[in-house]
Structure 1
Amino acid sequence: MPVTEKERDILARTIWGEARGETSAGQVAVAWTIRNRVFDGKERSWWGEGYAGVCQKPFQFSCWNKTDPNYQFLIGVKQIPFRELAQCRVVADQVIDGKVPDPTGGATHYYAIAMKTPPAWAAKAKQTLKLGGHVFFKDVP
């Protein structure tokens, strides 16, 4: 499936909103989680269609919630620092183009370790990776 520049931009902004404080490896893991949702093998996926549809599906990536402080940056009202967004664009391109392997083992979920209590869904999923400030999971068949 061809990926538009808009989709690449939305993925890069999502990486920034969700993982700007992470290493490049942590950003790659977040991007792969999104890619795994895009390519879940279903014709009409619950996650949404394409990178934009997955990233911007309501309540899936908190940085796109209108009440999130990152939202104003993601929609361009406030400016993301150039170098930070450029790094996220590189990661987005590498993941979209398959130039880096999936470190998450097929994860479709993650949460920030900083959360006091893991989300309820984590009890029903298999942990695949702990990297930086995130823990990654995939559904148990």
Structure 2
Amino acid sequence: MDVTEKDRDVLARTLYGEARGEGLAGMVAVAWSIRNRVEDGKEKSWWGEGYAGVCQKPYQFSCWNKGDPNQPYLTGAKQIPFRELAQCRIAADQVIDGKVADPTSGATHYYATSMPSAPKWANGAKKTLTLGNHIFFKDVP
């Protein structure tokens, strides 16, 4: 699959919105959950096509939702601090380029431990990793 500069930028911005406080390891884990959606093996994936398509699929990554406080940073209406975006780009590039192994063991979903309760989709899914403030899952029904 060809990965465009837009794919790399959108993934890095998604990491800013979803995992900037999680350090490099946490950003890599979130990026891998996105890569696992991108590489689901289906010709026309429900998740969307490519990194940008998956990240910006409506209601999949809340940081892109209208009204989310992160969304103006992701769209460029507000500027992401250079150092933070640079760290997000490093994590995005490492995952896209296959330079780091998947710490999530194939997870396609995660949620933040700050949520008041687990989302319904987590029922029956296989938990693969707890890292920082995120819990990762695969085989989501």
Aligned to 1:22: 22
Q: What is the distance in 2 between the residues matched to 1:124 and 1:112?
A: 18
Confirm or deny that 1:80 pairs with 2:80: yes
TM-score by length of structure 1 reads 0.98
Question: Using the alignment, how far apart are the partners of 1:135 and 1:23 within structure 2?
Answer: 15
User: Could you tell me whether the CA contact under 8 Å between 2:34 and 2:51 is conserved in 1?
Assistant: yes
* Structure 2: tracts of 5 or more residues without a match: none
Match of 2:107?
A: 107
Letter in 1 for 2:108: T
Q: What's the offset of the Cα at 1:124?
A: 1.9
Runs of 4+ in 1 over 2 A off after TM superposition: none
1:94 paired to 2:99? no
Q: CA deviation at 1:140?
A: 5.5
Give the C-alpha shift of residue 33 in structure 1: 0.2
Query: Could you tell me which residue of structure 2 aligns to residue 119 of structure 1?
Result: 119
Task: Report the RMSD for the aligned CA atoms in angstroms.
Answer: 0.9
Give TM-score, length-normalised by structure 2.
0.98
Q: For the residues of structure 2 that align with 1:71 and 1:4, how far apart are their CA atoms?
A: 21
Give me the whole-angstrom Cα distance separating, in 1, the residues matched to 2:61 and 2:116: 18
For the Cα contact (< 8 Å) 2:122–2:140, is it kept in 1? no
Residue type of the partner of 1:78?
K
Separation of aligned partners in 2, 1:11 and 1:23: 16
- Secondary structure of the residue aligned to 2:43 is coil
Amino acid at match of 1:39: E
Identity of aligned residues (%): 76
Partners of 1:4 and 1:121 lie apart in 2 by: 31
